[in-house]
């Protein structure tokens, strides 16, 4: 079982923690093309925790949205939201409650609202549809626990766009730099808000690093320090990991 003070590494080494530790719920977050899915897979191997990827490919509106965003922004976001909610309740919550394991999630339900906000600001989703989306989002989000830590992969929009182009997914061909810049602005607002409720760790992810080193010598020590300094209360705040 991986907890805030206990992580099984690929080599089998286990760092023991306090007896009152609970399984840790980790969410990996960032722009499209930041490298979330790859990091999630590697973290799963390092920690032994199950990885839950976002249900993107099953969204029947996604390709239509990229072609005609105004027509499909509302159904694509509602489908993402409801799918993430069902995914969390049926798999992540069940695994953590009944199996006593931690979890690594590729983009949490809570950040689904970031994309809807950008669609509204761009005029792609009108105010009535956005307000309806927010009503549904607020209702569902109250039923889903916050991650214990959000790992924010901090990657400039230009580099994200390069990565998007290099992976060559046809349905992403209409994503442009302006959209990614607007998305980054909304994400920064999201992280500031979430930092009042949980821990947000920003990681410079312009270059990939060894994930075992990242987890064992950067993330875990930071979480231990935060827990010590906020004794009696769950750690919160937005923090930048020193990768030097």
Could you give the residue numbers annotated as active site? Answer: 106
CA distances from 73 to 117, 137, 241 (A): 11, 15, 35
CA distance 13 to 210: 16
CA proximity to 66, closest of 172, 180, 182, 179: 172
Task: List, in sequence order, the alpha helices (H) in 49-176.
Answer: 62-67, 69-87, 93-98, 112-121, 127-141, 157-167
What lies within 8 Å, CB to CB, of 142 at 6+ separation is none
Contact 187, 160 (CB under 8 A): no
Tokens encoding 43: 């973290």
CA distance 36 to 85: 19
């Amino acid at each position: 079982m991986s907890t805030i003070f206990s992580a099984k590494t690929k080599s089998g080494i286990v760092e023991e923690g306090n007896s009152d530790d609970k399984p840790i719920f980790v969410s990996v977050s960032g722009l499209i093309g930041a490298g979330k899915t790859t990091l999630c897979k590697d973290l799963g191997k390092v920690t032994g925790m199950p990885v839950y990827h976002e249900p993107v490919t099953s969204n029947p509106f996604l390709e239509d949205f990229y072609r005609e965003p105004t027509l499909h922004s509302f159904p694509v976001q509602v489908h993402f939201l409801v799918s993430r909610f069902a995914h969390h309740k049926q798999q992540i919550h069940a695994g953590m409650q009944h199996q006593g394991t931690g979890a690594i999630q590729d983009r949490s339900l809570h950040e689904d609202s970031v994309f809807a906000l950008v669609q509204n600001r761009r005029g792609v989703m009108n105010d009535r549809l956005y307000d309806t989306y927010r009503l549904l989002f607020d209702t569902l989000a109250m039923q889903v626990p916050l991650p214990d830590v959000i790992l924010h992969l901090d990657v400039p929009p230009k580099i994200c766009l390069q990565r998007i182009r290099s992976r060559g997914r046809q349905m992403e061909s209409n994503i442009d730099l302006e959209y990614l810049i607007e998305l980054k602005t909304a994400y920064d607002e999201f992280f500031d808000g979430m930092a009042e409720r949980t821990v947000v760790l920003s990681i410079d992810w312009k270059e990939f690093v060894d994930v075992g080193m990242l987890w064992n010598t950067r993330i875990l020590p930071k979480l231990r320090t935060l827990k010590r300094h906020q004794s009696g209360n769950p750690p919160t705040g937005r923090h930048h990991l020193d990768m030097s």
